[in-house]
């Protein structure tokens, strides 16, 4: 049968101290790293959304430029039909090349930034895991 004596209270105090120490040593740093990662991922997500919005804006601009070029080509159709078609083709290619290069440049910047963040996080996780292992084992790791 169980009996309540002073050792139960000692065990409760021991448990609370252990819980407090684990919170300081283990749980807070992990939560900090996770919250930092979430903030950076949110920043990247917002950046991606901004780039997508800019891409849609460039697409709309491209469509508007294409529509205006077509109208111009149809007006000058009788006397300058061949020249109008060449001008339209040239404008379309320039707008497509410009939009494509801007999208590619933005994609490269985003991938480079994501790579930098990934390597930074990988370095921090390695350091943190080594420190955590040292604290748990109570000795330095080689």
84 within domain boundaries: yes
CA-based nearest residue to 101, from 63, 66, 62, 67: 62
Instruction: Supply the pLDDT for residue 1.
Output: 59
Instruction: Supply the pLDDT for residue 91.
Output: 86
Each residue's pLDDT, cut to its tens digit, for the chain (142 residues) gives 567 788 888 999 999 999 999 999 999 999 999 999 999 999 999 999 999 999 999 999 999 988 888 887 777 777 776 776 688 888 888 888 888 888 999 999 999 999 998 888 887 888 888 888 888 888 887 6
30 within domain boundaries: no
Instruction: Supply the pLDDT for residue 85.
Output: 67
100 within domain boundaries: yes
Domain span at residue 87 reads: 40-133
Token pair, residue 111, equals 């991938």
20 within domain boundaries: no
16 within domain boundaries: no
**From residue 140, how far is each of 7, 34, 130, 133 by CA, in Å?**
34, 25, 9, 9
85 within domain boundaries: yes
CB atoms within 10 A of CB 53: 10
5 within domain boundaries: no
Q: How many domains does the chain have?
A: 1
- Give me the phi and psi of 54, to 5 degrees please: -65, -40
Strand segments, DSSP code E, in 5-134 are: none
Contact 95, 65 (CB under 8 A): yes
């Amino acid at each position: 049968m169980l009996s309540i004596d002073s050792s139960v209270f000692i065990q409760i105090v021991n448990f609370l101290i252990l819980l407090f120490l684990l919170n300081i040593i283990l749980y807070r740093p992990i939560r900090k790293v996770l919250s930092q990662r979430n903030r950076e991922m949110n920043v990247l997500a917002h950046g991606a959304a901004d780039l997508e919005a800019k891409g849609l804006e460039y697409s709309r601009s491209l469509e508007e430029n294409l529509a205006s070029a077509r109208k111009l080509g149809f007006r000058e159709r009788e006397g300058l039909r061949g020249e109008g078609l060449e001008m339209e083709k040239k404008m379309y290619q320039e707008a497509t090349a410009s939009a494509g290069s801007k999208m590619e440049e933005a994609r490269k910047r985003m991938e480079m930034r994501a790579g930098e963040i990934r390597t930074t996080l990988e370095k921090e996780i390695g350091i943190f895991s080594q420190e955590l292992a040292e604290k748990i084992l109570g000795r330095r790791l080689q």
